Structures are given as structure tokens and as C-alpha cells.
Chains A and B, each alone.
Chain A
Amino acid sequence: MSAPSDLRFTKTHEWVRLDGDVATIGITDHAQKELGDITYVELPEAGDAVAQNQPFGIVESVKAASDIYAPLDGEVVERNESLLTAPDLVNASPYDDAWFIKIRLKDTAQVEALMASDAYDEFADDSAH
């Protein structure tokens, strides 16, 4: 599946949807496919600070545990509680139902440096080989 054109992306396979100064963050379809069956998700709580390029959460598949990186600086305003009980949503709906956290940004201009969908598709394609 091509990455949605309204999102921005990181080289560590997270996506960002910007709405005012709030960014919704998840992992890409490419990432969930690479991981395989997701069995566990660990997320920060509302009020926690996240820092750009630093891990903010964990996803586990049957095979391995992986860090999820914050694409931007900000403070968590909401986390997706449904992922805690139904981690397999990440496989089923990576861009919609399986968002991870929403953060209030310190600096919305940081978004500009993230990849657009076409650049990400190319990047993900290369990293798959």
C-alpha cells in the first residue's frame, strides 16, 4: 500500500498527521509488515514529554521488541488505549485505528523536515531490499 499523501514520515518508519499544533503519530504499513504479528504495545501517558528522535514506546511482535521513535518534540495529550488491549490493530489498520499517541508540538516547523509520502515510499522500497 502507498503511504497516505496527507501524512509525513520518518526514516524509522513512523508517520505524523498534523492538526493545528497537535500531531498524531503511528507506524507505517511497511513497518507493521516488517514486524509481523504485533503482540504488545507500550505507550507513554498523557503529560509525558517526548523528544525528537528518542524512543517513546515499544512494539513487540512474536519475534522481537522494537523501539518507536518520536518524530517531533512535544507533550503527550492522548494515547490510544485500544492498542494496549488489541495490539493486532497495528497490523489491521496502521494509518487509522492504530494511531499510537497525540502530542502537542513545541515547534510545528519541525514537521517540514519530515519526508512526504512519495519520498517515504521510495525510501521504504529501498530499505526492503
Chain B
Amino acid sequence: MTTKASSTKPNPADLNRTPLFSRHQELGARIIPFAGWEMPVQYSGIIQEHQAVRNAAGLFDLGHMGQVDVSGPDAMPFLQWVTTNDVSRLADGDAQYSLLPNPTGGVIDDIIVYRRPDADGFFVVVNASNRDKDVAWLHAQRAARSDLDLTVRDISPETGMIAIQGPLANDLVEGLSDVSLGDLPAFAWIAGRIAGVPAMIARTGYTGEDGFEFFTGIDDVVRLWDALYAAGSRVGVAPIGLGARDTLRLEARMPLYGNEMDDAVNPLEAGLGWAVKLDKGEFVGSDAIGAMKETGAPRRTVGFKLTGRSGSARSHYPVHCAGREIGWVTSGAMSPTLGENIGLALINREQAGVGKPLEIEIRGKLAPAVQVKTPFYKRDR
């Protein structure tokens, strides 16, 4: 047996560990190198962990993700310039999904922008794999905008981040919190204490379930994890690795940087036009994105299911239609919730449409597929 995904093994000495590394080892996790970090890919098994999040709740170590503080009198106009979404729509304590565009309309990263509840500033969460690139880009943009008064600071080293996601998350966290969370809407955050640990509590996440992401001081994150795990493990809350994180976000059709988008994919092609607000005024890449909006995106990101018995569609597999190659798979997996092979593909717009057929090239053979509505999974409200 040899796994086809070949990767060069990084030197473990070069890899970072989150404060929760020993917890993962104690929980029997398999650890892999990921974006410069040693992270758990699975504990009990990807399918079991996936189902724990759908049916109970799951606990995630997100210590590899990056956090950037953007504050000062001109923090908002700066973020309006470097992101695609409209930051002016955020009230104090609101959050929004957004993108860092490049000047040609590609995507540097996808991010969450949090407006601080009580201060003049913002907090931006970025992907681990893009943190250095994003921070360098933001500093360069900051330097280029000498007309603005603000500071950009990478606060990742001093910030801890974990998440709890799933139908039991709300009641569990409410029971440990000194602030009421019942009225906290999706994409909002407040300051509070969870089991005595001071944290920013955000109703955000990346699984398609209700739940929270917590930001703490780096030295508090183990205490918060232990409190959540102690209370949660009694009711079926499980630790969740990167493997299930990927299948959860795919079922919910949440994009993954490097799969659904990158420097050469326009947000309109990635199906992320909803996070681009061209009417807010000029921003990095707005000309390129606006021009594509005029003519229509030449490629579309579509959801599909494989209809025959075959292996899974996986990232970069070619997509065919009527004897022609028309694009590639951006993400694909056996869906643990549906028991079917699902995926997203970036294809020529002429062949895009729910119900239309596709063929996915899997190890040289064409597997029949049909385009379907997304998300593949939506929770009951």
C-alpha cells in the first residue's frame, strides 16, 4: 500500500505546536504536518468525528490560524481598501466573511473580519497556510496608504483559538458562560468568561453547524479546552481533527483556500460574489472583479454527486463533458452525512447548471456525475 498523495516530509524541528499539542497526544490523535504546524488529522476516525459534530458537538484546536489586529482612526477605510466585503455594514461586535483580493482580481486569502465590540478597531482571522503572506501584504498595503492613520499587527503568537461546533454547543457553552449567549446572533461576538477563562466568544465557525469560536490569551487556551472537554465529553462532545473539519466544511459548501480559490481564481468564479461589494467604492482588484461582473464569470464553481459506484472525486481531478475537458475538481470526498461521493468543480460556464451531467476522470476512467444544488447539507433550524 502506498498513498498517492506524495509530499515532502518537513523537518519536525521546523514545525510549530499549539499549546494543546500534548492534549492531542493524550487523546490518541494522529498528528500530521499542516501549514507549518503539527496538527491532529484525526482522533477516533474521520467519519465518527464528522458525525459527532452533526449529532452532538465537536471541539477543534484552531491554534494554527492567524489573527491580525487592525486598529486606529482609519482602520475602517483601510479594511475597505484591502477586503472585498463592506466593512461599514458591521456594527460594533459584528463579524463578516470576506476576502483579501489581489490587484488582478484573484484571492490572497479568505478571512473573517470582526469589529471589536467596544473599541475602535478590528480583528481579522486568516488561514494558517497564508498567515505570513497575508501579514506581509497587509503591511505593504499599510505602507502604501500613508494617507491613513492605523496600525496592523500580527497578534497570532499571543492569541489562542479553539472552536466548539454542533447542536449541543449552545447549551454547553451557555452553561459555562458568565454572559448570556441566547441572543448572540450568527456572526457576532462578545467578551465573557467561559469557566472563568476570559475569552472573546464568537458565534462563527466552519462546519455548517451552530457553534462558537473562542479567542483567548495564548496561556489560557489549555484551561478553556479542558473546561469544555470536561463538560462536553459527558454528553458526546468529541475532539475533531483536520480530516473531519474538511468533510464538514465541504458538505456545507464552505470554500477552502487553495482548493476553491487562489491567486488566479476570481471570487465570482468561486461562487463568492456575495462577499464582494462593488458598490462600496474602489478597493484592491475592484476594477478586475468589476470587469468580470460586466461580462459574466467564464468559469463557475458547481456542486456535483457521482452517480455510479466509483472512488471519490478529489482535488485536481479533470472534469469532462461531451468528450471535452472543461475544468477540474476543487474539493471532493465521500460525504459522511449523505453516504455519497460529493464534490465541487470549477468548470466552463456553458456546461454549468443544476441537473446537467459531468464526467469526473478518476485514475484515467470517466465516472458519471450530475450537478446538484448546494450546500450538500443544511442543518434543521
Contact = CB atoms under 8 A, between A and B. Distances in A.
Interface of A: 12-14, 27, 31, 34-37, 39-40, 42, 58-69, 84
A65 B363 contact: yes
Contact of A36 (B1, B5, B42): B42
Given A62-B247, A65-B314, 17 more contacts: A12-B1, A13-B1, A14-B1, A36-B42, A37-B45, A40-B312, A62-B336, A63-B5, A63-B41, A63-B243, A64-B4, A65-B3, A65-B4, A66-B1, A66-B4, A67-B4, A69-B1
B311 A40 contact: yes
Given A13-B1, A59-B1, A65 B312 contact: yes
B310 interface: yes
Interface of B: 1-5, 41-42, 45-48, 243, 247, 309-312, 314, 333-334, 336, 363
A36 B46 contact: yes
Nearest to B312: A60
Contacts of B333: 62
12 contacts: A36-B243, A58-B311, A59-B1, A62-B47, A62-B243, A62-B334, A64-B4, A65-B314, A66-B1, A66-B3, A67-B2, A84-B309
A97 to B, nearest CB: 18
Contacts, number: 62
Contacts of A35: 1, 3
A51 B4 CA distance: 19
Contact of B334 (A27, A39, A42, A84): A39
Nearest to B247: A62
Contacts of B243: 36, 62-63
A64 B314 CA distance: 8
B191 to A, nearest CB: 37
B311 A36 contact: no
Contacts of B309: 84
Nearest to B32: A63
A58 B309 CA distance: 14
A66 B311 CA distance: 11
A14 B247 CA distance: 28
